[in-house]
Amino acid sequence: MQFFGIEFFPLLTIGIWNGWILLLIFWVVELVLVVSFPKGTRGRLFEYDHATWTKRHRGFLYIGKSFSLISLILFFFTSLKFGTPVFYIGLVIYAIGLIAFSIAVINFRNTPIDEPVTRGIYRYSRNPQVLTILITTVGISLAVGSGIALCIMVISAIFNRARLIEEEKACLVKYGNSYREYMERVPRYLLIKTKITN
């Protein structure tokens, strides 16, 4: 059963023209961007202090990562729906996500290491890298016409929210009032303002 060219459970196959191609392009772009970071600043992308995380937050993080892994597997084994409207819509969404992700990483790279990242695309979202990865994977889900992959990505994003909250708490500790003022100005995602708990 299809809905606008999207099958909830599309046929899984091994093939050259599967969603893995779009994943590979994303990973290559990400690798090139990360390699372009000045020496000593690359670690900033991955520095997460998990010491203060509760069991609940850790559990949410692992559940979110598990759902993300399942969706990646689905992308690998689902054919791109060439020639269908949903493929082109997905490709456009994917391209928007990939371009916005690249801008976010460049903004991150160009911010001095002792300052919070608040410039460029970070003026519209406090977590543009996470948001643009979600947009990119939604695009891939549509390009392969997989309803289940789309649902799994949304569920993954809901559970991964725990990580964003903890990262923001860590930024508050590290940068103090300047980050608090930033949180008051800029939404966590795009248009949705969130309550500041710390």
Q: Where residue 198 falls among pLDDT bands split at 50, 70, 90?
A: very low
Tokens of 28: 């290559």
Q: Where residue 2 falls among pLDDT bands split at 50, 70, 90?
A: low
Cβ burial, residue 151 (10 Å; 0-12/13-18/19+):
middle
Task: Confirm if 116 and 175 have CB atoms less than 8 A apart.
Answer: yes
pLDDT in tens, 73-110: 999 999 999 988 999 999 999 999 999 999 999 998 88
Q: Measured between alpha carbons, how far is 30 from 161 in angstroms, rounded to an integer?
A: 21
* Cβ atoms < 10 Å from Cβ of 126: 24
Q: Measured between alpha carbons, how far is 162 from 64 in angstroms, rounded to an integer?
A: 9
Q: Which of 8-12, 25-29, 145-149 has the lowest mean pLDDT?
A: 8-12
Task: Confirm if 57 and 162 have CB atoms less than 8 A apart.
Answer: yes
By C-alpha distance, which of 60, 80, 92, 63 is closest to 19?
Answer: 80
pLDDT at 60 over 70: yes
pLDDT in tens, 143-196: 999 989 989 988 988 888 877 888 888 888 888 888 888 888 888 887 666 655
Residues 6+ apart with CB under 8 A from 50: 58, 166
